[in-house]
Amino acid sequence: MNSAWTYRKSFRKGKTYIIATVGAVVIFVLLGGRGAQQGYEIAVQQEQVAEEEETIPYAAYFKEYAPIVGWDWELLAAVGYAESRFRPTAQSQYGASGVMQLMPKTAAKYGLNDSTVFEPRDNIEAGAQCLATLNHQFRYVRDSVERTKFVLAAYNAGTAHILDARALARKYEANPNRWEEVEPFLALLSDSVYYTDSVVRYGAFQGGETMRYVGKVQNTYRRIKQGRFMLN
């Protein structure tokens, strides 16, 4: 552990104390002494959760499997963070499982079963393989930075709706290979005027979550590159 990280960790502990103390004072004013103690405990818990979320517990696996996609390992890790906060036991209401939140059919496609899907190493490897497949599917987007955005969107929403948004972009003379020009058409897929268009093959779609997802992963990637996550 280097001295710079030691300093940052000490600073975070100090910040935790300050935030907790301020929270306690505010609740003391509102609820009295007992409320102040409760406020302090809640604030400390919130800061502890935030600090846990800034730890990458499986960095070695992200580093091992990122070359499958041809990405920086930090970007692969950013996907894991966005999907599950790196929790290997995470399960969504839609059936996605593990660190990379793989749907059952996707997990099976890459060799996982009901048990191995919850193994961090196996799940991260399969997630990287899935992303590599998507990266190949969008190979016609020559700019690698732009292609990454399409890959992230497809990982979140599936390829079909991204292709529909590209088709609309092309029809309305926007650049179908530039995410910022395709993104508005993904949002328009919730409007019947657009999802019933003859170039749209896969119907209505609420694109807001996917648009936020792409931005979230990119922001987390930058934060990891800046050293704002601790490796475990």
Q: How far apart are CA 10 and CA 110, in angstroms?
A: 42
Report yes or no: 206 and 190 within 8 Å, Cβ to Cβ: yes
Helices 59-69 and 73-84 meet at what angle, rounded to 10? 110
Residues noted as catalytic: 83
Length of the chain: 232
Q: Which two tokens stand for residue 107?
A: 């997990």
Radius of gyration of the chain (CA): 21
Residue 230 pairs in a beta bridge with: 55
